[in-house]
Structure 1
């Protein structure tokens, strides 16, 4: 199971990260990604579903709390979006901020 968990954490969670910094991804899309993660972890491919003795919410908890450390995609999307907003608010003169302000006509904070 550890190899499936590694693939979930390093592939299925990281693919939408870039988009999460720029847009709020619809919940339907995030639910579909979560469904793919669940099927991948529980079914191990094309096998028929089996009985799950641990809930998905327990698996998504941090490792120190008894879970497997799979992050919730909706909360990760909100955190990425807020981080981009925070970086936009900081008083640095980065190129990407100049492009955004030039495109949308906002010169002030």
Structure 2
């Protein structure tokens, strides 16, 4: 997988493939004049890889071994059972931004712009690929709600209107903030709709081969042991079904 200056190389954990990958990289270095940066290179092994093979590959590459793959294009490459841990960086990003704003004297109009244009926009890219845990959405809403009501540090201030009411349109008495859970489903529903409308796309062909080889996307089932990406997109199926004809 190649994107800009980030690359992920997949191979079987055997000596022959390790040697072959090294040869390809050395040939590339010789032909291009570029050199592999081993300080920015990391190795990740599946759980069933023997210790002997791990030591062999590590010695050959001279790179560090990581327990969890690093981010790729800003997203976690693997999402296991610890979904909160995989997406906690979003809460950290939003929390840091809000912490910087709290010390400033801002009008309600200024707070509204920062919440809508920055805080609620931060997780948009991730939400278009994965369904965030409901607890994380609630915590993000709480961070933004506390900022809206001018709470600082651990102090408590009265929230005169619920966050759900603030998420309603201004014409209905709210502020038009996004309900992150609903917005997350809307972004995933857009992906599901695109997949249905573009059956020749790579993502449709890959998912069809794995999850619904003998049917169409609209009839697809979740299946057994699905990836979190498929589970997330499939969660929006009901939203599309209710809105399509």
| TM-score, shorter chain, exceeding 0.5 | yes
More helix by share: 1
Deviations 1:36-88 (A, max 9, x none): 11111112544833223222222111111110000100000111101111011
In the other structure, the counterpart of 2:182 is: 75
Do structure 1's residue 6 and structure 2's residue 118 form an aligned pair? no
Mapping for residues 30-109 of structure 1, pairs under 5 Å: 30-43=137-150, 45-46=152-153, 48-91=155-198, 97-98=201-202, 100-101=203-204, 103-104=206-207, 106=209, 109=216
Q: Retained in 2: the 8 A contact 1:43–1:49?
A: no
CA RMSD of aligned residues (A): 2.3
Q: Normalising by structure 2, what TM-score?
A: 0.39
| Stretch of structure 1 that moved more, 79-88 or 36-45 | 36-45
**Gaps in structure 1 of 5+ consecutive residues:** none
Contact 1:62 1:69 in 2 (8 A): yes
Change (3 A) 1:81 1:105: closer
2-side partners of 1:6 and 1:40: how far apart? 12
Q: TM-score, normalised by structure 1?
A: 0.80
Equivalent pair of 2:115/2:144 in contact (CA under 8 Å): yes
Higher relative contact order (CA 8 A, sep 6+): 1
Q: Unaligned stretches of 5+ in structure 2?
A: 1-107, 217-245
Instruction: Choose the corresponding residue for 1:20, options 127, 134, 144.
Output: 127
